[in-house]
Amino acid sequence: MTQTSSEAIIARLLLPDDANPAGNVHGGTILRLMEEAGMITATRYMASSFPKSENGDGNCSIAALVRFETMSFLKPMFVGEVASLSARIVFTSEHSVLVEVVVTAEDVSKGKTRVTNSGQLWYVPLAPGGEGTQKDWKQAKVVQVPQALPPKDEKGRKEYEAAKMQYEKRKSLQNGDNEATSLECLGLDKFRAEYVAPSDGRSPSESEQVLCQIVLPGDCGKGGVAFGGFVMKLMDNCAGCSAFRHCRTNVVTVAISAMDFVGWIKLGDLCTIKSKVVFCSAKSLEIEVVASVSSASAIGEEATVAKGLFSFVSIGTDGKALAVPPLRLETEEDMHAAFLGHQRYADAKRARAARENNKK
C-alpha cells in the first residue's frame, strides 16, 4: 500500500462542550481529534501492508501512539465551525511510522477555511500475541513496519529526508552523548550564577496540579488499550490548570514538544496526570506534564506512561497576549528544569529566525 492510499480525512462539527471559558475550542479536543486521524492513517497503512492470513485478517490490527513529535496551534478554532483533519504518512522506520496531521476550520455559513493546527505523530504497529487462531491482545507485541519508498516529488522528498534526519538525531541522543552532557553542566553553572530571584515571581510548586481518571470503555480501542488522544486531552487539561494557577488569567495552548508514550494505559486503570510550570519567557510558559497509571492488580504501584512539554500564553479580555509572571526558582530541581527550558526556548527562537531567513 502507498502512503497516498493510506491517507485519512475526518471532520466534525464543534459544539459548546468543546469550548474553553473564553469561547474558543479547547486544545485537548483538537489533540484528541488529531490522534484519531493519525491512528486511522497509521493503522490503514500498516494493516494493509502486512500479508493476509487464511481468514483474510492482517497480522497487524492497530497502530499505537508512542510520540508526539511536534504540535503547533496556529489559529484559534470556534464553536459552530467544522474541523477537518487530513493525515498522511511522511516517513517509516523499522518499527514505527511518522504521520503528519493538518487541521483546518471551516465557517460553513461564510464558506471560509483556514489552517489552525499541524503536528507530527509517531505510531508503532501492535499485533496480538499467541499462536494460530488463539490470538491474545493481552500479549500484544510490536512488529516490523514495511518500509515506504521516498516520494518522487521534490517537496515530498525534502519532507522525507528532514524526517529521517530528525529520527536519526533523536536515536543518537537516546544512545547517550557525553560531550553534550558536559556542555549542559557548564551552561547550567553559568545559568545558576546569573539567576536573580524576582521579587514578584511565582514558584513551580504554586502551579502544581494533579488530575485523576479511571479509564472507561469509551476511552479505549481494540484490546482495551486507551487511545493516545484520551491521554493527551487529560494532559492538556492538567497543563492548562497549571498555566492558570501561574498566570491567573485565561490561558491557551500554543505548542507541544517532545511528548513520549513509554507504556500502555488499559481499560480499568487509574490514570493520574501531574503538571507544573518549569520555564517562563516574557509572554509564554512551558509546563512539564507526566502521566502515570495504577491498576487494580497492583494497588499502590504507579508506572509512568507518558511525558510531555506544553507551551501556553496568557490571554487578556481583549484577546491579546499578556506578560507572564516570572518564575521564582526554589530548588536545584527547579533550577535544572528552568535551564533546560531556557535552552529549548533559545533553540526555538533560532529555528524561527532561520525559517524567516530562508523565506527571504
Contact 302, 272 (CB under 8 A): yes
The residue assigned the cell 487530513 is 86
Burial class (CB in 10 A: 0-12, 13-18, 19+), 296: exposed
Contact 240, 289 (CB under 8 A): no
Contact 226, 265 (CB under 8 A): yes
End-to-end CA distance of the chain: 38
Name the residue type at position 125: P
Q: Annotated active-site positions, please?
A: 20, 236
Instruction: Say how far apart CA 48 and CA 42 lie, in whole Å.
Output: 10
Burial class (CB in 10 A: 0-12, 13-18, 19+), 106: middle
Sign of the C-alpha dihedral computed for residues 16, 19, 20 and 22 taken in this order: negative
Q: Of 100, 159, 93, 147, whose CA–CA distance to 124 is shortest? A: 93
Return the DSSP state at 51.
P
∠ CA 19-10-117 to the nearest 5 degrees?
55
Helix axes 228-247, 27-49, angle to 10 degrees: 160
Q: How far is CA 11 from the centre of its chain?
A: 20
Helix axes 178-194, 332-359, angle to 10 degrees: 110
In whole angstroms, how far apart are CA 192 and each of 178, 186, 278, 333?
21, 10, 15, 12
